């Protein structure tokens, strides 16, 4: 951690077809006006749970419980680091560790953490920063339960909202296909 950007030679065909693509690393920092957004993709909760760095109310608590996501947000924000794990769990590339730091806290932290399950999205505000998990957009094997969650960020209102395709009317679904 952190991971470098996607190599250009692998995406050569894609870059030739679409000229406005930016290949980013993980995590990625974006600045829109005076707003800072950090996007981080990792199954962080699963790793934290493995080494019991996340406090749970009871041992029977499921991974998808919203209380668990709140604990994840508090752990990451209080540590001001995207990967508050011991080195034996998550090795760190020290020359790039500064990219994992969250000081000062961003306006929006997007934790793309799929350990909460497909379609499990959440939104928490902690210490003045909004933290969201947009969930997985991909379809599970059972297409009748397809949610297709996605996030829309409004930089003027400084607010991110999570939406899903399942909330569209049947007429909108036909237009989208």
Q: Which domains does the chain have, with CATH numbers?
A: 28-176 (3.60.21)
Task: Provide the 8-state DSSP code for 63.
Answer: T
* pLDDT at residue 109 in the model: 93
At residue 80, does pLDDT exceed 80? yes
Structure tokens at 11: 């995406």
Lowest mean pLDDT among 3-7, 55-59, 80-84: 55-59
Is 153 in a helix, a strand, or coil? strand
Tell me: the pLDDT tens digits for 159-177?
888 777 765 544 444 444 4
At residue 38, does pLDDT exceed 90? yes
Is 96 in a helix, a strand, or coil? helix
Is 162:121 a contact under the CB 8 Å cutoff? Answer: yes
Q: Work out the average pLDDT over 113-134.
A: 80
How far is the C-alpha of 73 from the C-alpha of 85, rounded, in Å? 14
Output the CA angle 88-92-95, nearest 5 degrees. 150
Residues 6+ apart with CB under 8 A from 126: 70, 73, 74, 77
For 76, phi and psi rounded to 5 degrees?
Answer: -65, -45
At residue 51, does pLDDT exceed 80? no
Q: What is the DSSP string of 13-39?
A: HHHHH-TT-----BSEEEEETTEEEEE
With pLDDT > 70 as the criterion, what percentage of the chain qualifies?
73
């Amino acid at each position: 951690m952190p991971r470098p950007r996607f190599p250009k030679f692998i995406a050569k065909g894609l870059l030739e077809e679409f000229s406005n693509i930016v290949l980013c690393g993980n995590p990625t920092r974006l600045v829109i006006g005076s707003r800072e957004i950090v996007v981080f993709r990792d199954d962080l909760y699963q790793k934290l749970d493995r080494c019991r760095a996340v406090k749970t109310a009871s041992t029977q608590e499921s991974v998808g419980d919203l209380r668990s996501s709140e604990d994840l947000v508090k752990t990451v924000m209080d540590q001001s680091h995207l990967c508050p794990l011991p080195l034996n769990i998550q090795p760190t590339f020290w020359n790039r560790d500064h990219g994992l730091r969250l000081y000062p806290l961003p306006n929006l932290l997007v934790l793309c953490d799929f350990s909460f399950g497909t379609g499990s999205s959440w939104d928490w505000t902690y210490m003045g920063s909004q933290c969201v998990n947009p969930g997985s957009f991909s379809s599970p094997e059972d297409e009748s339960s397809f949610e297709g969650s996605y996030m829309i960020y409004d930089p003027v209102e400084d607010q991110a909202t999570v939406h899903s395709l399942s909330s569209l009317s049947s007429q909108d679904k036909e237009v989208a296909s």
